[in-house]
Structure 1
């Protein structure tokens, strides 16, 4: 495969550029507006054409001097940036203080070598066009074991030119590993969570950025026309320049056709079908396997934190209360580059193939998308500036590590007779929606966890072949998890000897067990008549009362 040289665009498309009046922008500028309402956005878009996807409270537009006067008359809050899509192409090199793909790989394997008990590198897939490996790093105190611990996922560079994602991800890995055993908080994090880091989802596109083809190259490397010339473009000095490739953050299988573009050279081209790109398949398979509770996917630019979601009909997610609470706390901890305020906050549009939308909709992952770097830059122009952005964003990360141990309902789902873990659907009925994928316990431990705000909830566990179990009145307190283990299956509480009937023989069986001269009920729940999850003399008393017309024996619902 050949690449477009850094010093010229493809000869085939050069003539198109010279004939395209839209490339000559003149005095027009790019604006980034923040809207206070759908109505305000509708007014602006009655006159200006949007350049970015409609995914939140911010919009990007091309505006003439007359448009600027009109916007000022509306009292709109906006920022500006120049537009200059001119030929010949820009020849620019990325500063050496940014990681290259090879340096990223070397660092990951170096950490694995230095911290073999804590760090493990995994190749999770290959790129669509040039078959570069996509790498993940797992960090945990017993890294070769799939432990019964909450999982967090961090990834970077869906978009090739948004390189700060890789920098933040690698800085996080370095911090966790180098500070383990030294910093008490870091040690606690590594000991009690599993962290997965995918620093670079788009290695092919990243190669175009690092090789000088274009510092603004956004998409992956797919060769649309199969002519063997890769990374073709109409211009290379703006993220809005038409290029080959697929926008990987518009390719996920959630309302895929409702966002992005169906025009192959458009900077938002979503691909020919949902999940068409091998880069997306790699992340899709990883998320399905590890089932993170929180995930963060890093992008650039604008210093704003996106969270799922707000649809055009003003409909938020069923979990909006807790998602908004966490997003607010996270954004409030990430300082903007000017040092005067923290990151802005906005929901995504819910209908579109963005990673946070897809992860939340399909698996219930509470997923965030920080747009790092102050507008209008994608790439910091100094190492000090880069390091400041990394440091600021890590503050948001460490808040998530703290929150993952706080208010929630968590526990294990097991078969009541065999005590084997079950992969069951867990519904919080107050937050349930039929339009979303099932929220499942894992197959290895039967573990589930639902991050919630303090309150009282109804939990329902569903597994084929078992009666549905509904548990009302589950209380979640501030700052601490509520433990609720769930047993599924049919049995008769009070049938202590397990013969399928309740009679006087069960009283004799329990007395013998409690005196230490007989075997235990199997499972123990058969002997728990009063439902307190303990087998003792009280169960004998209640069973005798039952035979005399007393209350029905109760099922144990374990909460610890």
Structure 2
């Protein structure tokens, strides 16, 4: 996807106008002291940490971020901005720029890139990936021997200078492009690389930052982009969700994500400055990568090769030039972790100069230090296991390759679906792999020997798996009447949603055995979301939907809900962060168009609600709150039985996320970026008039988070009113306590002519969980049964909703429901 943006005023103003003033005004470089490394978990969410040496932290911030840090009590020492320490010589001509000891102007950079494609049309094309905030181009040189043909070869990517003031990699990448193209056909090593690898190189990932001082100089370069966002904190994060920095994805970030999504890169690196070290995954958490030993080997190879060509002391930081990212200092939203976790691409961060804006006279030396390492790093793609995965007719498959007893945390790799080729880089050893693709029988290949002289080829042909046709009926859970025009959907699958006919029947064809999330919805009913395992023995799947006696979808109006603060909870259509409503287009949210503020205590109150005999509250929500090791901000739900004069905390089925600092009590915290059903038993408040309150709270420290979104609020009645007993009937009472942990008591009675009662407990899928047949004093009028929340095998069941019924001879009681909370 291309993102064309209008050029901003900065491109129309003479170059140099903002030199030195822009960094000083909007981007401050500074240091401060910490007492423990654990403090970084919170601090990295406030400022952009650049380096940590002992207890001294070096960081960037805009004025608002700096004020927030100072409010925590840290003493700030402002330092000269790295982008204004030295004014380098700029090339006057393209010829000077190609001497590689000048920095090019922005226009010279564009000319040089397009000239590569002009000079080497069969080897290079320039991919215009899109525009920056201020309209500058992000360009890739794509290098291959067959530039217009996709081949069975690994795809590799280098990018540089996503921090705009870290400029060494910028010039080195331009020079690398020239080296590969001019060396083709003359240098055997280069020729082999261009023949065997598709190489993508982006020399300048943050052109607005590098040319913040104007298009004719890199003096005044900034770390942040034109929106004052650190691009290397702006990517989705494995631990902290889609927007860990609280900012919307920047155009430059989207471009990189689009490029990664459109290609099948297996190996990459991004170049930085400010240190001299190879940083390998993970950055976001302490857990080691499944390929940690391999990462150490390739990082060690990069640094050790540098040491052969560089003076003593170069790239010796931390562990003699290499480090695990988290062990150095943790960040969230880095591109390295994004590429590894979300794109199955092995990426490291290459810090190649202690000086960020390197004097132009030192560029040639740094090329000498790093050239052999940069070449060898690309050549990592030669090793491991490679092959093509096809079906029985030879068609390429979109398949996953798993290293048995090795892969975890998204370390599996995938084929390029266009050709079915895969490339799994591995250290030498003996491995088993499992190849799987939806609709096909997985295949495991054992005892594959990986050597250090090249890749072991393993082509795989998968056979189609037997599929199952799912059929069933959607009914009203209270009346058993069929529901027509209901929608049945298998989430995150290749199957399109289907609609029930007038008899409530539906069918989904050609489903492979497995566990799926089904979503069933119909007008006037609460939406059901349920995980179900589909097998030959379980392919007739019926669903019961329950009509709430109160329901607010917020489409026509705000439902009569009110906020205590006009700047707080808002009703309408969301427009921030790509968030959309669960159903329809409208929701209630803490801020429909942006981030919440600090020091907020916002209440969203329902209108007065008259409850029935056994009510339950349900609603769908998602949230993005500030959290680290402590959940700083968040929200919870409370209830009033005196018209709103006072409220008491409600606890959801399954419990809250933990204690919320701003609330001083339990609540939802952290990030939940998908709409999720929340359920609260209101049985303790049956037949009362109540008011419900959604309470959001934030503390004094807030760093751009979207807050809380709520949709489709419903009050449902779990059980109906019992009819008077008559002959041959079993009378079943509601269990107590409900919800329960540990044990609950179920009371029932039966007429004298009925014998040998059986209490049966079922899960939401209608599967029998437990049968109870032994009761104390079964001949008495009222009989008690105790269930301990365990199934027939003595295993504790999952938290959730369960059904129970008494049966005797040919008679059965009504079905009642209960909620189990795990111990």
Taking structure 2 as the reference length, the TM-score comes to: 0.46
Choose from 314, 333, 345 the match for 1:365: 345
1:95 aligns to 2:89 (yes or no): yes
1:470 aligns to 2:466 (yes or no): no
1:346 aligns to 2:337 (yes or no): no
1:149 aligns to 2:170 (yes or no): no
Equivalent position SS for 1:108: helix
- Give CA-to-partner distance per residue, 1:221-262, whole Å, 9 cap, x none: 12xxxxxxxxxxxxxxxxxxxxxx1111111111474899x8
The residue correspondences of 1:11-410 to structure 2 (distance < 5 A) are: 41=37, 53=49, 60-61=56-57, 84=79, 93-96=87-90, 97-127=102-132, 129-210=133-214, 215-222=220-227, 245-255=228-238, 257=240, 270=245, 272-273=247-248, 276-309=249-282, 312=285, 314-335=286-307, 338-343=311-316, 344-349=321-326, 352-374=332-354, 377-383=355-361, 385-406=362-383, 408-410=384-386
Q: Rate the CA distance shift 1:57–1:431 in 2: closer, same or farther, 3 A.
A: farther
2:237·2:284 contact (CA, 8 Å) conserved in 1?
Answer: no
- Give CA-to-partner distance per residue, 1:192-246, whole Å, 9 cap, x none: 1111011111122222145569625111112xxxxxxxxxxxxxxxxxxxxxx11
Q: C-alpha displacement at 1:42, in angstroms?
A: 5.6
C-alpha separation in 2, matches of 1:109 and 1:180: 18
1:428·1:457 contact (CA, 8 Å) conserved in 2?
Answer: yes
2:166·2:273 contact (CA, 8 Å) conserved in 1?
Answer: yes
2:88·2:360 contact (CA, 8 Å) conserved in 1?
Answer: no
Q: Rate the CA distance shift 1:302–1:471 in 2: closer, same or farther, 3 A.
A: same
Between stretches 359-368 and 89-98, larger displacement belongs to: 89-98
2:435·2:444 contact (CA, 8 Å) conserved in 1?
Answer: yes
Q: C-alpha displacement at 1:186, in angstroms?
A: 1.0
C-alpha separation in 2, matches of 1:57 and 1:411: 44
Q: Rate the CA distance shift 1:58–1:167 in 2: closer, same or farther, 3 A.
A: farther
Q: C-alpha displacement at 1:394, in angstroms?
A: 1.9
2:403·2:432 contact (CA, 8 Å) conserved in 1?
Answer: yes
C-alpha separation in 2, matches of 1:480 and 1:126: 39
- The corresponding residue for 1:485 is 459
Equivalent position SS for 1:53: strand
2:51·2:58 contact (CA, 8 Å) conserved in 1?
Answer: no
Q: C-alpha displacement at 1:156, in angstroms?
A: 0.9
- The corresponding residue for 2:702 is none
The residue correspondences of 1:414-429 to structure 2 (distance < 5 A) are: 414-416=390-392, 418-429=393-404
- Give CA-to-partner distance per residue, 1:117-146, whole Å, 9 cap, x none: 11101101111x222221111011111111
2:277·2:323 contact (CA, 8 Å) conserved in 1?
Answer: yes
In structure 2, list runs of 5 or more residues that go unmatched.
1-7, 60-76, 91-101, 467-823
2:403·2:412 contact (CA, 8 Å) conserved in 1?
Answer: no
C-alpha separation in 2, matches of 1:259 and 1:420: 35
C-alpha separation in 1, matches of 2:346 and 2:357: 27
Higher strand share: 2
Q: Rate the CA distance shift 1:334–1:280 in 2: closer, same or farther, 3 A.
A: same
Higher helix share: 1
Q: C-alpha displacement at 1:466, in angstroms?
A: 0.9
- The corresponding residue for 1:241 is none
The residue correspondences of 1:466-545 to structure 2 (distance < 5 A) are: 466-490=440-464
Q: Rate the CA distance shift 1:160–1:486 in 2: closer, same or farther, 3 A.
A: same
C-alpha separation in 2, matches of 1:56 and 1:246: 20
Q: Rate the CA distance shift 1:9–1:454 in 2: closer, same or farther, 3 A.
A: closer
C-alpha separation in 2, matches of 1:8 and 1:368: 31
Q: Rate the CA distance shift 1:91–1:480 in 2: closer, same or farther, 3 A.
A: closer
- Give CA-to-partner distance per residue, 1:82-140, whole Å, 9 cap, x none: 95459xx969744211122221211111111111111101101111x222221111011
1:318·1:431 contact (CA, 8 Å) conserved in 2?
Answer: yes
Q: Rate the CA distance shift 1:50–1:390 in 2: closer, same or farther, 3 A.
A: farther
Structure with the greater alpha carbon radius of gyration: 2
C-alpha separation in 2, matches of 1:154 and 1:441: 21
- The corresponding residue for 2:639 is none
C-alpha separation in 2, matches of 1:381 and 1:53: 23
C-alpha separation in 1, matches of 2:50 and 2:241: 10
Q: C-alpha displacement at 1:51, in angstroms?
A: 7.2
Q: Rate the CA distance shift 1:188–1:332 in 2: closer, same or farther, 3 A.
A: same
1:51·1:60 contact (CA, 8 Å) conserved in 2?
Answer: no
- Give CA-to-partner distance per residue, 1:54-75, whole Å, 9 cap, x none: 9888775279xxxxxxxxxxxx
Q: C-alpha displacement at 1:321, in angstroms?
A: 1.3
- Give CA-to-partner distance per residue, 1:161-207, whole Å, 9 cap, x none: 11112111111101001111111111111111111011111122222
**How well do the aligned residues superpose, as a CA RMSD in angstroms?**
3.8
1:56·1:348 contact (CA, 8 Å) conserved in 2?
Answer: no
- The corresponding residue for 1:515 is none
In structure 1, list runs of 5 or more residues that go unmatched.
34-38, 64-81, 223-244, 263-269, 493-560
Equivalent position SS for 2:212: helix
C-alpha separation in 2, matches of 1:259 and 1:463: 27
C-alpha separation in 2, matches of 1:443 and 1:483: 18
Q: C-alpha displacement at 1:436, in angstroms?
A: 2.0
Taking structure 1 as the reference length, the TM-score comes to: 0.66
- Give CA-to-partner distance per residue, 1:500-541, whole Å, 9 cap, x none: xxxxxxxxxxxxxxxxxxxxxxxxxxxxxxxxxxxxxxxxxx
Q: Rate the CA distance shift 1:197–1:7 in 2: closer, same or farther, 3 A.
A: closer
Q: How many residues align?
A: 414
Q: Rate the CA distance shift 1:92–1:55 in 2: closer, same or farther, 3 A.
A: closer
Q: C-alpha displacement at 1:404, in angstroms?
A: 2.0
